[in-house]
Structure 1
Amino acid sequence: MAGLSVGAIIDSGSAASIISSSLATKLGLSPTEKRTVRGVSGRASALLARNIEIKFGGERRRLPSVFIADLKAVSSALGRPVEMVLGEDMLAERCVAFDFANRRLSVGATGGFAGEKGWERVSLIHGSNRELLVDASVMDLANMPMVFDLGSSTALMLAPSYVSDHRLLQGVRQSTAAIGGIDGITSATTFITDRVKLGKVPIRAAPTLSPTTWLSTSAVGSIGLPLIAQFDVVLDVSAGQLWLRPAQRGLPMLEDHSGFGLALTKDELHVVHVAKNSPAAQSGWGVGDGILAINGRDIDSSYTFDHHWRWRFMKPGTIVALKDHLGRTRDLCLADYY
C-alpha cells in the first residue's frame, strides 16, 4: 500500500478487508462514508474507503472498497501491531496453500489445485454476511455450518444457544474468558470440547469459547486457527473448495493454565479479565492490574516474537514469578482450571 510494508492478519472469517485508523492516517485517507462492521458477538463503527491497492502474495489487487476501523483491541489481543485485516475479498480468485508448521503460504490461480492422495475436499459456502462456512460436528452431533476463521486464535467457538440446546456444558468443567476483536472485548464461557470433526478427521480436546452473545444467523460456531492448523490447507474461495490433509506436525492447541486475560501495552501486560476459579483468581489478581516482568524478564515489544508469551501454557504445577505494577514479585502456580 503506497509502498508501505505493514503487519496484517489473514482473516477468512471477515468478508471485507480492514485498514487500521492509524494506517489510514499515514496513507492520507480521509473517508466520510460511515458503516458498521460486525464481529462474531458485537458491532463496531467504521468508515469506508474506496479504490485501495494492496500487494499480497506477490500480486497487486485493487479493492473497490475497504473498511477503516480501530484495530487496537485486535493488536492487544495478539500482542503485536495489526495494521490490516486481509479478508475474504483478498482471497477471491486465488488458490492459497497454507503450511502452518513452517509458517509459509503460496498463492496460485483459482482452480489450480486438484487434490492428491491423502487430501479431502470440503465444500465452502457463504453465509448471510458473506462469511466463509464449512460443515463440522462436535460431540458426534450432526454436521452444522461453522465459520472457517483463520483470523481467530480460538480453536473452537460455539453459539450459546447451540451449547444450551445440546447441553454441552452438562457435567463439564468450565470457567470464564475474554475475547478481544474489532468489536472490543467480550466475555465468554470456556471449556474443553472432547470431540470435533472437520471433514472426516476427528480432533480431540479442543479449547472452546462460548461468547455471551452470538450475532451470526448462518453459523452455530467458528473453527479457528489452532484447530485449522492441525491440517495442511488449500483454500480456493472462488471455486468454493477447501482441501484438507492431516498435518504431519500440527501446531499445538494451547490450553491456558493461568486464568489471565491480557492485553499487551508497550512495557506491560494489562489484566483485562481474571477467569473464575483460576490460579490468577485464587492468587488475588484483579482486572486493572499489570504485569511488568515474568521470571525476571521485563515485558517489552519482543514479548510475542519469541517464546516469552508461552509461560501461560506451561504444564500444570509450574511456578511462575510475576512482577506486578506495584513492583511486587508474586508467584503463580499454573493449574488446569477448566
Structure 2
Amino acid sequence: MRALPFLLMIAPVPLAAVAALASASRPPAEVPVPIAARDAGTATLTPDTEARWVPFDLTPGNQIRFTMTLDGRPVTAILDTGVSYSVLGRGSPAVDATKLKPGGSATAIGGAVPIDWMPTQTLAVGGLVRTGGGVTVAQLPALATGSSTAVDLLVGRDLIGAQALDIDYENRRFRLLLSGRMPFVGSVAPLSVSPARRVYESELTLGNRRLRPVVVDTGDGSSITVSRGDWTAAGLSRLPTTTAISFGLAGSMISDLAVVPGLKLGQLVAREVETRIEPANGFSQSIGTAGRVGSGFLQNYRVLLDPGAGRMVLKPGPKAYQPPLRSTSGLLVGLVRDRLRVLHVMRGGPAAAAGWHDGDEICTINGQPIPADYPGSTLATWSVGAPGTRVTLGLCDGETRLLTLARFY
C-alpha cells in the first residue's frame, strides 16, 4: 500500500468484459447490441504523438486520472487496461440518453452490472483520436477510485490497445506511441490482448507457481492479486496474512493480504511485494484468469505496454526497491467530506483487537480535525506509524479511542 497507505486502495475497478446478454424475452426494440455489431471506430495517431504527453494524478485508489475529450466535451477519465470496452458513467454530463441502446450485462467485482451502449463521434487523448465507435455506459461509483467524486470515463483496451502506451509514473504523465517503439530500456515481460477477455494479459512466477494468464490492469489500484487456488499451489500458505477490501462496479470483496518475499514478471525480479489472495471462486477465477498486476505494483516503474509487439517493459523508478508500507493500525478508511469512515477492519490488527467496526467514523487524529486535503497531508501517515506508537482517535459521536500501533502481517 505504497502511495496512500492510510486509505484503502480501492480496487480493482471491474474488468467490464461483456459476460452475458440480456434475456431473449426483451421486446425486439430492446435487444442488446451484440459486440460484433458495434462500430469499432477508427483510431489514428497524430504525427507529433510522441511529444503529446498527457499529465495525470493518482487517485486515492491508486489509479491514473486525467482529462480528455468525448465529442468535444472535456471529461475526467481513468486509464484502465483491465477494461475491455471503455465505460462512460451514467451520471456523466457526456451521456446522451437519446443515443443509448441496451448492451446486456458485464462481469464486475461483486457480480454483474447492467450496461448500455452509446455511439460517439470522437474520442481524443494525447495524440490519439478515434472517430466513430462508441462506449459502454454503466454506473461508475466514486468508491471505485477512492475519491469523493466519480470520474466520467474508464478508458479501456478498445481505445488504446492497438498502440504502445508509455506510462511515466515518476513524472505523472503518459503518451501513446506507434506499436513497436522502444523509448527506453528495461526488463521485458510478455504481453498480449486476450481474444476471449479482450484485455491486457501477461504471466508471472510466484513461489512454486507459474501464473497465467494474469491481467495487467492499470485500473486496479492494488499491487498483485492472485486466485486462492494459485496461492495454495504456490506454496506460500506459511506467510502471515490479514484481510483487505476491494470495490468494483457491483459491490465489494474481502481478500486476504500478504507480503511475499519475491516474484518474477518476465525478466523482472521484484522483492517484498504486497499480494491479495481472492477467496475461492473469486473474481479472477470466475473470468478464467490467475490474477492481476495492478497500478500499485506498476507505479514503481516506468512502464511500456505494447501488446502489438508482444511485450511489456519495466524500468525501475526511485521507489522500486523500497519495501511496501504496511498498515500498523489495522484500519482501512475512506474520506467522506470532513471525516474518515472505516471501510474495513483488518483481521488480526490492533483495531480488531480494540473492537473497531466497519462504519465507525473518525473526526480527529491526535486532536487535529480531518483536513480537506487529508489524502496528501502528513496527518494521513498515522495509520502506518512505528509499532508501539499510541494514536488518539476522536470519533464523530464524541467518543475518544486510544490505538496502539503494531506490526501484524
By how many angstroms is 1:223 displaced? 1.0
Q: How many Å separate the matches in 2 of 1:16 and 1:226? A: 22
Q: Does 1:243 align with 2:313?
A: yes
1:161 corresponds to which residue?
Answer: 229
Matched AA of 1:189: D
2:136 is paired with a residue whose SS is strand
By how many angstroms is 1:184 displaced? 1.4
By how many angstroms is 1:59 displaced? 3.6
Matched-pair contact (CA < 8 Å) for 1:41–1:211: no
1:254 corresponds to which residue?
Answer: 325
Q: Name which of 343, 347, 355 aligns with 1:276.
A: 347
TM-score normalised per structure 2: 0.73
1:196 corresponds to which residue?
Answer: 263
By how many angstroms is 1:97 displaced? 1.2
By how many angstroms is 1:178 displaced? 1.0
1:318 corresponds to which residue?
Answer: 389
Q: Name which of 357, 362, 372 aligns with 1:291.
A: 362
By how many angstroms is 1:137 displaced? 0.8
Q: Name which of 327, 331, 336 aligns with 2:398.
A: 327
Q: 1:220-244: CA deviations, max 9, x gaps?
A: 1111112222322112233332222
Q: How many Å separate the matches in 2 of 1:122 and 1:76? A: 27
1:90 is paired with a residue whose SS is helix
Matched AA of 2:220: S
Instruction: Show the 5 A alignment for 1:199-238.
Output: 199-212=266-279, 213-214=282-283, 215-238=285-308
Matched-pair contact (CA < 8 Å) for 1:293–1:324: yes
2:150 is paired with a residue whose SS is coil
1:142 corresponds to which residue?
Answer: 210
Q: How many Å separate the matches in 1 of 2:382 and 2:351? A: 13
Between 306-315 and 178-187, the greater mean CA deviation after superposition: 306-315
Between 149-158 and 268-277, the greater mean CA deviation after superposition: 268-277
2:84 is paired with a residue whose SS is coil
By how many angstroms is 1:107 displaced? 2.5
Q: How many Å separate the matches in 1 of 2:330 and 2:341? A: 13
Q: 1:230-267: CA deviations, max 9, x gaps?
A: 32211223333222222244385332222223333223
Q: How many Å separate the matches in 2 of 1:63 and 1:251? A: 44
Matched-pair contact (CA < 8 Å) for 1:316–1:335: yes
- Structure 2 gaps of 5+ residues are 1-69
Q: How many Å separate the matches in 2 of 1:80 and 1:334? A: 31
2:232 is paired with a residue whose SS is helix
Identity %: 25
Between 57-66 and 198-207, the greater mean CA deviation after superposition: 57-66
Q: How many Å separate the matches in 1 of 2:310 and 2:115? A: 29
1:14 corresponds to which residue?
Answer: 83
By how many angstroms is 1:157 displaced? 0.5
- Higher Cα Rg, which structure: 2
Cα distance change, pair 200–143 in 1 and its aligned pair in 2 (3 A): farther
Q: Name which of 211, 225, 242 aligns with 1:175.
A: 242
Q: How many Å separate the matches in 2 of 1:52 and 1:211? A: 39
Q: How many Å separate the matches in 2 of 1:308 and 1:71? A: 29
By how many angstroms is 1:138 displaced? 0.7
Q: Does 1:110 align with 2:179?
A: yes
Q: How many Å separate the matches in 2 of 1:251 and 1:183? A: 35
Q: How many Å separate the matches in 2 of 1:7 and 1:315? A: 37
Q: How many Å separate the matches in 2 of 1:2 and 1:15? A: 21
Matched AA of 1:242: M
Between 172-181 and 242-251, the greater mean CA deviation after superposition: 242-251
Matched-pair contact (CA < 8 Å) for 2:208–2:233: no
Runs of 4+ in structure 1 over 4 Å off: 305-308
Q: How many Å separate the matches in 2 of 1:76 and 1:248? A: 25
1:22 is paired with a residue whose SS is coil
Matched AA of 1:232: R
By how many angstroms is 1:181 displaced? 1.7
1:304 is paired with a residue whose SS is helix
- Structure 1 gaps of 5+ residues are none
Matched-pair contact (CA < 8 Å) for 1:101–1:250: no
Cα distance change, pair 47–317 in 1 and its aligned pair in 2 (3 A): farther
